[in-house]
Amino acid sequence: MMNRVVLVGRLTKDPDLRYTPSGVAVATFSLAVNRQFSNQQGEREADFINCVVWRKPAENVANFLKKGSLAGVDGRIQTRNYEGQDGKRVYVTEVVAESVQFLEPRNASGGGNRNDNEFYGAPPREPQGNPYGGGNQNQRPNNNQGFTRVDDDPFAGNGQIDISDDDLPF
């Protein structure tokens, strides 16, 4: 119905980039968003919000953001659940980013971001047949710098496989 989230915060770690079996990029990261007011103990707390982003912007995130980077997210809240390792249902609430903006100033901490200090997600729904051109649909991507390398199965060795093509937001 309506579901909109806007966040600005800092990555708590380097983003994690993976690929679904059919070759779609997906990056996950956690944003620390400092709260506006201090608590009763006078401390400034933060919320740690898990984010997911798909396709081209996933690769941008992996290439341009790292632990500590200031980033903006425009997206929506998603809930999902899966069978946990112990057989019980695990409930997840996270933010699916439709666009991510790099808010670090130019030539800061070794970035390399062209495009006027920002980049944006691909359109939430893809243009035509082969999304993101180049037939990268069913083959392994070959530029593997900057993210968790995967060989055949991007999720191999990942005990908790809870992201699949079914989670694609489009």
- Site of interaction with DNA (CB under 7 A): 9-13, 30, 32, 34, 44, 46, 48, 50, 67-68, 79, 81, 89, 91, 106, 116-117
Q: Which of 12, 23, 82, 94 binds a copy of itself (CB under 8 A)?
A: 94
Contact between 85 and a copy of itself by CB under 8 A: the answer reads no
The span from the CA of 99 to the CA of 28, in Å, is 13
79 and 93 Cβ atoms separated by less than 8 Å: yes
Q: Is 10 left (phi over 0), alpha (psi -120 to 50) or beta?
A: beta
The span from the CA of 22 to the CA of 6, in Å, is 30
89 binds, among a copy of itself, DNA, none (CB under 5 to 8 A by kind): DNA
26 and 14 Cβ atoms separated by less than 8 Å: no
Could you tell me the smallest distance in angstroms from the CB atom of residue 35 to DNA? Answer: 9
5 binds, among a copy of itself, DNA, none (CB under 5 to 8 A by kind): a copy of itself
Residue closer to a copy of itself by CB (options 27, 95) is 95
